[in-house]
Amino acid sequence: AQSVTQLGSHVSVSEGALVLLRCNYSSSVPPYLFWYVQYPNQGLQLLLKYTTGATLVKGINGFEAEFKKSETSFHLTKPSAHMSDAAEYFCAVRNNFGNEKLTFGTGTRLTIIP
């Protein structure tokens, strides 16, 4: 079975500060990992994904994430928060095994303090 755990359902950071959203995964086979963002009243948009190769993945809007197998983690970071980053962020996992579905974490709501 596969799953992801997002630590912290709500994170607040000041504008210009570092953004760190935590995600740990559980998978019996090498995982594919994703971060999606959902703005209010919108669908989800892919920020970045890890499949194979380089463990530091760069995404859109200045976000990046690092796959750490030893820690089973895939934390999302951004050096300097912007007001427009306020949204719900979902970590997701999908195994490279047959026809597995994409499994989402419970989400982290990011609030930016002016």
Applying CB under 8 A, the residues found at the interface with another protein are 32, 41-46, 49, 51, 90, 94-97, 99-102, 104-107
Distance separating alpha carbons of residues 78 and 81, to the nearest angstrom: 7
- Residue 52: CB minimum distance to another protein, A: 8
Question: Closest approach of Cβ 38 to another protein, in Å?
Answer: 8
What span, in angstroms and rounded, lies between the C-alpha atoms of 15 and 113?
6
Q: How far is the CB of 104 from another protein (least distance, A)?
A: 4
Give 16 or 30: the residue with its C-beta nearer to another protein. 30
Q: How do strand 19-26 and strand 64-68 relate by DSSP bridges?
A: unpaired
Closest CB to another protein among residues 5, 17: 5
For 3, the token pair is 């799953």
Strand partners, 50: 33
